């Protein structure tokens, strides 16, 4: 794929960018190529070209069997390009896939754009978001209003519709690199998704959250603040709250 490198298996496609400025930019495939075997797509973004790898990939393929999507960048090659809002939305609509796993790691994206993307993924079971960056010039999606937008019942400015965002969510992982985090909003959101009564759950249309991992890279864990989640951990939700070098409970 020109300046991109790629690896693949019958079910997994990994696309990454090469740091070779002598290579010419590439254009999306027209029409998009249909592949029914790909279930996992991983995009490794590094460079800040006018047309990003994400835009090219989402415009070039149709994957009706896709269940796992990973969008990642690495600290050594920070990516600060635009979030592929339009091309990703068109790709998901065209593929009509039942996406169950979604990871966004170290990519600059606003809370508004990430919420918009999650609205297009109602079949998600597992979601992982990580805002660890190489510097402080990028936008983190992990804001208080983003956390409130994941609440099971509360309607917010980012999710004002009557339907809950990612209603089938079973596993949530959050890695936060900053200092200012709304602990109470996070606890309230997690508690709102603990629905162990199957009969009640069927009436709400929500699945019960079964596991949550919250990792802080730069701030300490206030054990007293997170004590309300103890009862969820004892009730068989797997709860882990930690700083990188300081496990709290789980």
DSSP secondary structure, 87-136, as one string: HHHHHHHHHT----EEEEES----HHHHHHHHHT-TT-SEEEEE---SSS
pLDDT at res. 25? 65
Sequence-separated contacts (24+) of 195-202 with Cβ below 8 Å: 195/152, 196/235, 196/236
Predicted pLDDT at 50:
64
What does 5-21 look like in DSSP terms, one character per residue? EEEE-SSEEEEEE---T
pTM over 0.75: yes
pLDDT band (50, 70, 90) for residue 138: confident
pLDDT value at 8 more than 60: no
Average pLDDT over residues 16-45: 82
CA dihedral 43, 45, 50, 54 (to 10 degrees): 20
Residue 78 has pLDDT above 80, yes or no: no
Cα distances (Å, whole numbers) of residue 146 to 60, 163, 189 = 30, 16, 10
Q: Are strands 171-176 and 126-130 parallel, antiparallel or unpaired?
A: parallel
User: In the chain, pLDDT over 70 holds for what percent of residues?
Assistant: 81
pLDDT for the residue 249: 47
Among 20-29, 52-61, 78-87, 137-146, name the one with the lowest average pLDDT: 20-29
Which of 66, 63, 55, 64 is closest to 28 using CA atoms? Answer: 55
The H-or-E segment that residue 34 falls in is strand 33-34
Structure-block tokens of residue 214: 């919250």
């Amino acid at each position: 794929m020109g300046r991109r490198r790629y690896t693949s298996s019958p079910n997994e496609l990994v696309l990454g960018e090469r740091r070779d400025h002598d290579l010419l930019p590439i254009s999306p495939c027209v029409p998009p190529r249909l592949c029914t075997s790909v279930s996992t797509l991983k995009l490794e973004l590094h460079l800040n070209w006018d047309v990003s790898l994400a835009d090219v990939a989402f415009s070039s393929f149709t994957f009706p069997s896709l269940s796992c999507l990973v969008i990642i960048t690495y600290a050594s090659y920070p990516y600060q390009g635009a979030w592929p809002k339009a091309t990703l939305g068109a790709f998901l609509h065209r593929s009509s896939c039942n996406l169950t796993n979604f990871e966004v790691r170290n990519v600059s994206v606003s809370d508004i754009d990430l919420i918009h993307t999650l609205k297009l993924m109602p079949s998600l079971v597992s979601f992982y978001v990580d805002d660890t960056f190489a510097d402080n010039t990028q936008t983190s999606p992990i804001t208080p209003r983003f956390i409130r937008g994941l609440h099971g019942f509360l309607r917010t400015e980012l999710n004002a519709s009557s339907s809950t965002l990612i209603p089938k969510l079973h596993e949530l992982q959050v890695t936060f690199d900053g200092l200012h985090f709304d602990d109470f909003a996070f606890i309230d959101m997690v508690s709102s998704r603990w629905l162990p009564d199957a009969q009640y759950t069927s009436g709400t249309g929500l699945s019960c959250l079964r596991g949550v991992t919250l990792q802080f890279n730069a701030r300490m864990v206030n054990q007293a603040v997170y004590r309300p989640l103890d009862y969820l951990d004892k009730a068989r939700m797997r709860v882990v709250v930690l700083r990188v070098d300081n496990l709290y409970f789980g």
